[in-house]
Structure 1
Amino acid sequence: MKIFNEIAKESKLAKLVDAAKENHVGYVYSMNFSEALVLTNDAWKEKVSGIPHNSFLIASGFDPDRLNEAHELDREVVLLRVLGPSGLPTDVDLLRTRIEHNQRRTEDEIFTKDVHDGLDAITQSELQYGALKCRILGTFYIRDGELRLGSDIENYMSSTKLRVFKPRDESLNMIVNHMNPEVMSKALEEAQKSGFSGMPTPIEIGTIRYTSSDRLHRGQTEPKVPVQIQPTDFLARRTAILGMTRTGKSNTLKTTVSAVALAAVKDNNNVGQIIFDINGEYANANHQDDGSSIADVFADDVVCYRGIKTNDPTFRDLRNNFYEKPHVGLTIIQSLLKEEQLANDMKILVSSFSLDELPDDATDSEKYRHERNLAAFKSLLFVRGFTPSTGMKVKLAVSKAVKRQILENVFPEIVSEFEDELGKKPSQTDLEQKALNYFPDYNNGVSLRELADFFKYAREADRAIRKDHADAVKAYKKDGTKIPTGLWPSLRSGKSKDDWLDDNLKAMCNLIVGKSESDMPIRVKSLLGPIANYHSANRQGEVEAEIYNLLLDGKVVILDLSVGTEEVRKSMAVRIAHYILEHSMATFHRGEKNTNIVMYVEEAHNLIGKKEDLSTTWPRIAKEGAKAKIAFVYATQEPSSIHPNILANTENWFVTHLNNEDELRALGKFYDFADFHASLKTAQDVGFARIKTLSSPFVIPTQINRFTPEELKSELATYKFGEQNAI
């Protein structure tokens, strides 16, 4: 029997209750399927450095030294979390005793050296008893030689004989870092699918911390127990980092980025990470990071972008070329000017003018009109100070009839000279040939200067034709004669009945020349001029495609969105996120293997609206991104402002301090965060978080490790170059 007991002591179940006598804190005297009431004593609490609020306790009915002799029903350990005090039937009598004792004190007895504080030993012993109400988090048991944790209890006895212990050191480590075999197996499978050779090394995210006041349970005599999380929990998953400003959200995000990057380097695997940096704190060094940053630590593997013109060579240009991506430029202009008091022509540009791509079944007429709109928009950019690429040419289909009308109405002296040259009134065919030779070949491409001049001429011709038409109509009405059907009311192309300049294009022409229909000046330059800072003449190709390719190469991409208006930042962020989602989903639908991409959104409430349609980019990333190996990490101080669909699909949670009851109630709907309602509201300690990850079935209160650049640099060097070259 002694031999069997020695073997049993090596059981992982017995090790959970190791050092039982030293860590004993009470007895379960009542329980149900969800809660247990524990009788405890001040002396027992003192022996284990206290029992903090929200701390873990374990309850077992067996002696760990004699597990082999235990009844089958008792071979389990119940995991508890302390919720608060509970009443005892004797509380009324004990309370009366305390009050009466204090009422009898004299002035000399305010402070006393008596260890029993003036009470007899028996009474003092009785007064030390109290009760705790605990949440049942699950049951540890052995199956097939492996330690497992169920998230509930299978049975409870009314005549319970459960002893309660405070887990410390190795026992606590086993609890908070436990993974069931099937969870471990699934994580390994996911890791291998993601390109890892084996299970990635767990991330030591921090250490156990129960309360803001941590003098005892994290004191010098108490070992700080590490909290580890699996890198695979973040790949193709959703993660929330929630908390007020200055409580450690950014530190948590930096620690997570670093851990994922290190795991990828160690396994020689590509994991792309992109940070939508609203405050510019991840690309730039600051005092919070010991004068360093993510960009500094992972220098060779980090590419930083900035959303406005910069002379800093360490930043690439996040801006698009408005000439190459005119629909992007138009969107930015419209977002920046939508709140301005605008003249009618500017209103048309901001509200109804469109450069959206045409459907596949668009008619030739629609295609030509779209081409004219594009050309007019580029001309407007040019005359308002948006620098084009060197030698840029733009094509525009212009019919002979349009050129002829411009020649007739804008250059009458040329027509007159031509008539003298011919010795007769030139026919329409003659004038069309003359116009063909006089104007540049717009169909094969002209400079932006020539293009802007053309729209200026087209505007003048259209105004002249409309004036002549109006005058003729008046004359015919005065004479009482019928108005001829062949009288053109505006600039037309061939036999088309449509105006060559529709209302939108007329407005663009007015903006190009800076005058309204009544020839009053329009405030164009002062409105569009500053927006030129959002345009990059040097950008070749799509910035979205460039960023996506960097992610496929396993780089960390940081988008500094700390400058510019909120609308522009949203537009940039959504455009890039949409590109990543669409191209990753396309790879998935082709049956090809996707590269893991982790997407971080700082101050997410500024980018992701609560009422966004489910078909828009951010809700789609949260809902569908996992298929395409896109992980989504969002940080905010306002969880209630995040789209409900995103919250509902979130597997990993890091929560620090929230000071608002509405936010706490919103959070309390998820997992067991309701247990931490009070401490989340009061504890403002930086980095003190409550963590729930995919691999863990319950929330773990944790002090997040500080982002330490020098240590990370050393660790990175060890992985990359070997121990001898580490910093």
Structure 2
Amino acid sequence: MASFQGMAAQAVVEANPLTGLLKGARRLGGIYHLDYERAVIITDDLLKRDAGGVPRHGFLLAAATAPNREHDEPLDEDEIILLRVRGVAQLPNQSEVVATRMAAMRDADLRDRKPSEILDTLTEGQIQMSAFECDVLGTFYPESVAGQAFIQYGADIDNVYAGARYFVYTPSAETLKFLASYPQRTKDEIERQIAPALIELGHVRFAATRRRAVAAGLAAVPVNVRVTDFIARKTAVLGMTRAGKSNTNKTICTAIFEYSQTTKRPIGQLIFDPQGEYASVNQQDKTGLRLLGEDWVRIYKLRANPDDQQERSLTINFYDQSHLPAVRGLIEECIGDLEAGYVHAFKAAEIENPDAEDYPGGDKDSAYLGASNRARCGRFALYALLAKAGFKVPSGWSGIRFQMAGVVADAILKDYGSSTLIKESGYVTVKTMDGLKSTMDWLCRHIQAAEKATDRKPYSGPDITKWRECVPFMAIRAAYDGSGGGTAILNRLKGSTDFHDPKADANLLPQVASDLERGMLVIVDLSYGSERVATMLSERLVRGLLDLANKRFRSNQDPMRMQIVVEEAHRLFDRERANKNETDPWVRLAKESAKYEIGVIYATQEVSSVDRRILSNTHNWVIAHLNSDQETRELAHYYDFAVFADEIRRSEEPGFARMKTFSGKYIVPIQIAKFDHDMINGARKASGQAEITVPGQVR
């Protein structure tokens, strides 16, 4: 049997490579009607049975051949038409055939005999005739590329014959592999002598019922796709829960990792894992992505195991001054939808040290020193607010140091004790959680008293004028004691303590960016903590990575090649969100990913909620079971998925999907391969690592 190398195959031994496509094929019948979009073929029950059945959406080949000489004679027309079965069709004499069938069944029933025992051969042959309506997908025809015979494909036909020139065949297993994997090799790749990186994503599956496919040897025909189709492009993996979306994503991610290692081209992958299924070796798969290697997989999670070399904490230390920009960013995202005046003042508070270069006298300039102290007082207020919200102060924290009049410091020490603060010459340092709250409580109480003072009842405490005039401090104080008109900021912070880890010692974004630049697979485990925390963490990462990508783009630097995998994409890419907020990180990702060569794999069961601009710019589609006609109607706008709508709703088998890839010329029904440990070990081998076994597995 001929072996077809790739999607746009190289030469077959014969002078005309098309004849190789008919080797092992089984004749099904002939065409009695053909136009540019459809063909009607006529056949009979015996031919259908010998061909191994005719499943709906199955591929058929139509060729102008000499009967029984298909393999050793030139084709009358130097082309083979690719057909796809749509459904049954009416015969020209359908009413006569039906009448004859009815009569045969009636007579057989009356005589208690089989119809074949009471019918003559001619009549029996007549009632077994039937017809199928097929879509015309395109034409295979021969070309010569770099001195080799090459099978080219066109997505139409360029002539229609009125006569019955074409016989129709069901392809052999080898030809079906060629059809399902076309084009495994392009003209350009042949000319440049490039071998594409292919992955066996699964095998051909036309129907949920597989009895006849098994009997005909067509139940395990592999479907090979090129890994590069998924890199730097958008991929939609659609289907109901338990339809196999995560299995598909894991298979693709493993293939991209192996490709990256084989080609020595770093391609980082960032997976947002809402259920923790990517981050663990689970019982369903008996393996996991984390087994790709300690040096190549990094897992960020809220409850990281300090003894696990692969795990890192998702959190940051809110009291580490080096994390101040990240802290402010997280807090601002946490309160982003609040509109009160004191919230806007809180957001505008200047709590970061000013740039000394902006002042004539540098860091000795009196104006600089004043601004610097006001910023420190603002930071003190922020740390006190965090302490009040329940953010634990790290043990051994160096504290926050700022100016404070000696008389004020003495009054605080008198009221709260020596552990509250450390007094120096014109400065104090606060190091503890209780010290932050006690110092802030004292200042708020006295500021409130001074604000209520009148001529009749003047303020009698220590002079706190400088604190009342410190804009950053007063802006945060309004959130601390509710004097701004509400406690919304404090309440939001109380629900966000999962972000904070007093032991964390690094900022998340630079770590993740560094991991991705190395070509690592980064899993962000969002299964712990509240949904709000998960949303904010993922949005912050995406926003930061897009900003980095934009900076490289504007600097004319090479892009940082990365892939981002998003589950539950309907929550992130929804149409209302995209129309309302152009600065939303997910909207930005959807719109800007192509410019920055960022690949996006998004999985969802709600196609109709995803912004149409995203769907229209999606290159790869893997469609598993969807149970709603609303979703399949939305899907019908893209390629010819409308043809498969009924089966997409009806067939619930996990992994049974319809696939259209960037390189693929037509939709291929496929059973996605089950993600397994052999895939992991294949990728480990590409990265120079030894094979490993999973617990309880013997190799």
Q: TM-score per shorter chain, which class?
A: 0.7 to 0.9
> What is the 5 A alignment of 1:697-712?
697-709=665-677, 711-712=678-679
Preserved contact between residue 254 and residue 680 of structure 2 (Cα < 8 Å): no
TM-score normalized by structure 1? 0.79
Q: Pick which of 273-282 and 261-270 moved more.
A: 261-270
Which of the residues 395, 398, 408 maps onto 1:392? Answer: 398
Aligned-partner Cα distance in 2 for 1:186–1:369: 68
CA 1:559–1:509: 2 relative to 1, 3 Å: closer
> What is the 5 A alignment of 1:289-328?
289-290=285-286, 292-308=287-303, 313=308, 314-324=310-320, 325=323
Q: Which has the higher helix share?
A: 1
Deviation at 1:265, TM superposition (A): 2.1
* SS in structure 2 at match of 1:465: helix
Alignment-derived partner of residue 63 in structure 2: 60
Superposed CA offset, 1:577-633 (max 9, x none) = 122222123223322223421111122224433322344322322332233231100
CA 1:541–1:62: 2 relative to 1, 3 Å: same
Say yes or no: does 1:507 pair with 2:478.
yes
> What is the 5 A alignment of 1:420-435?
none
Q: Which residue type is aligned with residue 211 of structure 2?
A: R
Deviation at 1:503, TM superposition (A): 6.9
* SS in structure 2 at match of 1:690: strand
TM-score normalized by structure 2? 0.82
Say yes or no: does 1:354 pair with 2:354.
no
* SS in structure 2 at match of 1:240: strand
> What is the 5 A alignment of 1:291-690?
292-308=287-303, 313=308, 314-324=310-320, 325=323, 353-354=346-347, 372-389=377-394, 390-394=396-400, 396=402, 403=405, 440-441=426-427, 447=431, 452-469=437-454, 471=456, 492-493=465-466, 500=471, 504-510=475-481, 531-611=496-576, 612=578, 613-690=581-658
Preserved contact between residue 23 and residue 172 of structure 2 (Cα < 8 Å): no
Q: Which residue type is aligned with residue 124 of structure 1?
A: E
Superposed CA offset, 1:40-86 (max 9, x none) = 22111111101100100111123475787555xx2111111111111
Query: What residue ranges of structure 1 are gaps of 5+ in the alignment?
Result: 1-5, 190-197, 415-435, 475-489
Alignment-derived partner of residue 233 in structure 2: 237
Size of the aligned set, in residue pairs, is 651
Aligned-partner Cα distance in 1 for 2:58–2:334: 51
Deviation at 1:684, TM superposition (A): 0.7
Alignment-derived partner of residue 280 in structure 2: 284
CA 1:309–1:597: 2 relative to 1, 3 Å: closer
CA 1:17–1:185: 2 relative to 1, 3 Å: same
Say yes or no: does 1:252 pair with 2:248.
yes
Preserved contact between residue 591 and residue 614 of structure 2 (Cα < 8 Å): yes
Superposed CA offset, 1:480-522 (max 9, x none) = xxxxxxxxxx96449x9x67588743433426xxxx799x9x9
Say yes or no: does 1:51 pair with 2:54.
yes
Alignment-derived partner of residue 266 in structure 2: 270
Deviation at 1:330, TM superposition (A): 6.5
Alignment-derived partner of residue 682 in structure 2: 715
CA 1:669–1:462: 2 relative to 1, 3 Å: same
Preserved contact between residue 718 and residue 725 of structure 1 (Cα < 8 Å): no
Aligned-partner Cα distance in 2 for 1:723–1:319: 33
Deviation at 1:13, TM superposition (A): 1.4
* SS in structure 2 at match of 1:263: helix
CA 1:517–1:667: 2 relative to 1, 3 Å: closer
Deviation at 1:241, TM superposition (A): 0.7
Alignment-derived partner of residue 418 in structure 2: none
Aligned-partner Cα distance in 2 for 1:437–1:206: 71
Say yes or no: does 1:40 pair with 2:43.
yes
Q: Which residue type is aligned with residue 127 of structure 1?
A: I
Aligned-partner Cα distance in 2 for 1:317–1:723: 28
Aligned-partner Cα distance in 1 for 2:371–2:649: 59
Alignment-derived partner of residue 421 in structure 1: none
CA 1:306–1:69: 2 relative to 1, 3 Å: closer
* SS in structure 2 at match of 1:92: helix
Say yes or no: does 1:178 pair with 2:182.
yes
Q: Which residue type is aligned with residue 510 of structure 1?
A: D
Q: Pick which of 376-385 and 642-651 moved more.
A: 376-385
Deviation at 1:16, TM superposition (A): 1.6
Largest Rg, 1 or 2: 1
* SS in structure 1 at match of 2:249: helix
Deviation at 1:381, TM superposition (A): 1.5
Deviation at 1:334, TM superposition (A): 7.9
Aligned-partner Cα distance in 1 for 2:195–2:456: 84
Superposed CA offset, 1:175-223 (max 9, x none) = 122228657549989xxxxxxxx64530001111000001111336446
Q: Which residue type is aligned with residue 562 of structure 2?
A: I
Preserved contact between residue 321 and residue 538 of structure 1 (Cα < 8 Å): yes
CA 1:508–1:7: 2 relative to 1, 3 Å: closer
Which of the residues 9, 16, 21 maps onto 1:16? Answer: 21
* SS in structure 2 at match of 1:289: coil
* SS in structure 1 at match of 2:57: coil
Superposed CA offset, 1:536-555 (max 9, x none) = 12222321110110111111
* SS in structure 2 at match of 1:654: strand
Preserved contact between residue 480 and residue 490 of structure 2 (Cα < 8 Å): no
Aligned-partner Cα distance in 2 for 1:723–1:327: 42
Alignment-derived partner of residue 4 in structure 2: none
* SS in structure 2 at match of 1:274: strand
Aligned-partner Cα distance in 2 for 1:561–1:81: 43
- Taking every aligned residue pair, what percent have the same amino acid on both sides? 27
* SS in structure 1 at match of 2:595: helix
